């Protein structure tokens, strides 16, 4: 038996730096990408809120308000679909 098998590693696991137990790389990667996309939505939401307060954009206020409402709906759907509530709370606490 080779040394890497004795230590609990297979050749592929050693190559990827992973152990047999606790293999969550793909799930962590997907959650990271989901959080990154959600953060983009938060930035878009903040931008729209700032635009609503802008005097120069008062003429298109209804359009901006509609975009803000749609963005918030997407954020809520996205959080529910990917169960991001717990993850978002964890990142806020850190």
15-24 pLDDT, tens digit per residue, is: 555 444 455 5
Structure tokens at 27: 């799930």
Predicted pLDDT at 93: 66
Residue 62 pLDDT: 97
Query: What does the alpha-carbon distance between residue 33 and residue 25 come to, in Å, rounded to a whole number?
Result: 12
Cα–Cα distance, 52 to 30 (Å, whole number) = 33
Q: Distance between CA atoms of 33 and 78, rounded to whole angstroms?
A: 12
- pLDDT below 70 — which residues of the chain? 1-26, 87-94
pLDDT reported for residue 85: 78
How high is the pLDDT of residue 6?
45
Query: What pLDDT is recorded for position 43?
Result: 97
pTM, two decimal places: 0.64
């Amino acid at each position: 038996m080779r040394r890497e098998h004795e230590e609990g590693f297979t050749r592929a696991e050693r190559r990827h730096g992973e152990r047999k137990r606790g293999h969550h790389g793909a799930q962590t990667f997907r959650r990271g990408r989901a959080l990154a996309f959600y953060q983009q939505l938060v930035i878009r939401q903040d931008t729209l809120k700032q635009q609503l307060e802008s005097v120069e954009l008062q003429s298109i206020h209804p359009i901006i308000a509609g975009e803000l409402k749609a963005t918030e709906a997407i954020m809520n759907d996205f959080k529910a679909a990917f169960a991001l509530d717990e993850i978002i709370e964890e990142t806020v606490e850190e």
